[in-house]
């Protein structure tokens, strides 16, 4: 059984440059990574400390992509509870269905933004982590959706709660409008509207108005950040 409290992520496949980039990026976001070749993937998945999740990079597997799906099937058979995030250059719907059927928990199409990848990892692990999320004197209980700041309860809509949770899980990081649209609204395209800006503005009023220190910051042309530091 995988210890879901672990922050170890197994990185499988990909060339040396790709896997090194993944490991460096994961380290920067507080994860401990463990690199494994295709042949040793199952062994490393069962070696203590057990990984919390695995990333399988199909986009750089030589020479036949099916080899990666075989490894995915073996990982699933060996450790059924291990969440596996697949990175693939294949964006067609039928290919994504095939990868899901092979045992992928989630799929991201390359090229992948670091923020999006880390966000997806947090989502895979979220069911096993119910600890309150915090930023300064702002807290959110992900399980109940209840939020408060400095002891004052905040009246949030379900959409605002989802938006706040996403920003809290990436506290101190700029989250792009693209990621917000995909994760909060499930939009795979930008409708070129003020949808995100309107909801962020409403959320900002609820969590910042009346408090001396603003927490929700706009990075023009980039996105939004929740942080005690502007």
Residues of the chain scoring pLDDT < 50: 1-6, 62-66
Q: Scan for tokens 């910051």, then name that residue.
A: 217
Q: Say what the pLDDT of residue 141 is.
A: 86
Buried (b) or exposed (e) across 100-126, using 16+ Cβ within 10 A? eebbbbebbeeebeebbbbbbbbbbbe
Q: Say what the pLDDT of residue 215 is.
A: 97
123 lies in the same domain as 12: yes
Looking at 82, 101, 128, the residue that finishes a domain is 128
Indicate left, alpha or beta for 58 from its phi (over 0: left) and psi (-120 to 50: alpha): alpha
- What's the CATH code of the domain at 80? 3.40.50.2300
157 lies in the same domain as 121: no
Q: Say what the pLDDT of residue 1 is.
A: 32
Q: Say what the pLDDT of residue 50 is.
A: 77
- What's the CATH code of the domain at 193? 1.10.10.10
Q: Say what the pLDDT of residue 91 is.
A: 63
**Predicted structure pTM score:** 0.57
Q: Say what the pLDDT of residue 61 is.
A: 52
117 lies in the same domain as 176: no
Asked whether residue 3 is domain-assigned, the answer is: no
How many structural domains does the chain have?
2
180 lies in the same domain as 100: no
Task: Please give the Cα distance from 126 to 208 (Å, whole number).
Answer: 26
Task: Please give the Cα distance from 209 to 202 (Å, whole number).
Answer: 10
Predicted confidence (pLDDT) per residue in 102-134, tens digit: 788 888 888 888 888 888 888 887 665 567 889
118 lies in the same domain as 198: no
Domain region containing 49: 8-128
């Amino acid at each position: 059984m995988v210890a879901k409290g672990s922050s170890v992520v197994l990185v499988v496949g990909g060339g040396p440059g790709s896997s090194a980039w993944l490991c460096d990026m994961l380290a920067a976001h507080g994860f401990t990574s463990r690199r494994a070749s295709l042949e040793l993937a199952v062994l490393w998945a069962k070696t203590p400390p057990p990984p919390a999740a695995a990333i399988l990079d199909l986009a750089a597997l030589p020479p036949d992509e099916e080899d990666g799906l075989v490894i995915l099937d073996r990982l699933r058979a060996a450790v059924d509870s291990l969440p596996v995030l697949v990175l693939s250059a294949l964006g067609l719907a039928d290919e994504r269905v095939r990868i899901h059927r092979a045992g992928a928990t989630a799929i991201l199409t390359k090229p992948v933004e670091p923020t999006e990848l880390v966000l997806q990892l947090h989502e895979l692990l979220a069911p096993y982590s119910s600890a309150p999320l915090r930023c300064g004197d702002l807290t959110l209980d992900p399980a109940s959706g209840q939020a408060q700041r400095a002891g004052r309860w905040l009246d949030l809509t379900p959409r605002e709660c989802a938006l706040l949770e996403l920003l809290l899980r990436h506290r101190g990081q700029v989250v792009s409008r693209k990621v917000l649209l995909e994760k909060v609204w499930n939009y795979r395209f930008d409708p070129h509207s003020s949808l995100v800006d309107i909801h962020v503005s409403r959320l900002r009023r609820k969590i910042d108005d009346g408090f001396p220190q603003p927490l929700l910051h706009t990075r023009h042309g980039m996105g939004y950040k929740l942080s005690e530091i502007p």
